[in-house]
Amino acid sequence: MPEGETEWKGSLLRPSKAASVVAIILGSWALLLNLLNIVIGVHSQGQKVRWIDFITNGSDTGQAHEIGILFPDDLVFGGIGVVIFVAGFIGMGRSVEGGFAKWFSELPKSVIFSSLISTGGGASRTIGSWMIAAGLLFYFVWSALNTTWVDPGVYSVMIALVAIGFGIHSIEDSGSIQ
């Protein structure tokens, strides 16, 4: 096999820092939702989500279910969350020197966090960081107050704010805007 082809295939299997961060966040979020679903229900006050029906829009999506562990739904969804998180954790270990612990300890110094309290990186970065924070804050506050953590409308607002915020940071990172 030519060297260029081997390098290309190797780059597909080599985890990136960005993909690892996304996996860590999605895995953590799935585990949080699963834990909340088992303890208090995430559909609405005292209603559990049956994950298989929720994802496939099955017949039991809007039905009330008893609080507790539903087999296999909660176990499968929790397992998926663990697998995604572990994939991110391992990827972070391979893409960042010092691994997950080093990356996590340096989060407060990252440009996204530091732009929340300083315009030193530029006003655009500060706006982008606050859009990310506003999206996440909106999701967590709204979900906690209304005791529903799986509302597509809330996801829409949160995702729009977070995506635009990350987009602003990506544009700044590319150096396109002066």
pLDDT (tens digit, 9 = 90+) per residue, 105-135? 999 999 999 999 988 888 999 999 999 999 9
Mean residue pLDDT across the chain: 86
Q: pTM to 2 decimals?
A: 0.82
Q: What is the pLDDT of residue 72?
A: 83
- Residue ending a domain, choose from 74, 105, 136: 105
User: Does 177 have pLDDT greater than 90?
Assistant: no
How far apart (Å, rounded) are the C-alpha atoms in residues 5 and 89? 28
pLDDT at residue 143, rounded to an integer: 92
Whether residue 65 is found in the same domain as residue 143: no
Q: What is the DSSP letter of 8?
A: H
- Listed in sequence order, the residues at least 6 apart from 105 whose beta carbon sits closer than 8 Å to its beta carbon are none
Q: What integer is the mean pLDDT of 43-58?
A: 76
Domain end point (choices 81, 105, 129): 105
| Boundary of a domain, candidates 105, 128, 163 | 105
Q: Looking at the predicted structure, is the pLDDT value of residue 103 above 80?
A: yes
Q: What is the spatial distance between Cα 15 and Cα 18, in angstroms, rounded to a whole number?
A: 8
Residues 152 and 100 in one domain: no
Task: Based on the fold, state whether residues 91 and 4 are members of the same structural domain.
Answer: yes
- Residue pair 47/41 in contact (Cβ under 8 Å)? The answer is yes
Q: Quick one: 23 and 74 in the same domain?
A: yes
- Count of domains observed in the chain: 2
Domain shared by 39 and 121, yes or no? no
pLDDT band at 156 (very low <50, low <70, confident <90, very high): very high
Radius of gyration, alpha carbons of the chain: 19
Q: What is the mean pLDDT of residues 15-32?
A: 92
User: Do residues 23 and 66 share a domain?
Assistant: yes
Do 98 and 113 share a domain, yes or no? no
Q: Which domain, by its residues, includes 132?
A: 108-178
The answer for residues whose C-beta is within 8 angstroms of residue 23's C-beta and 6 or more apart is 84, 85, 87, 88, 91
pLDDT above 90: residue 167:
yes
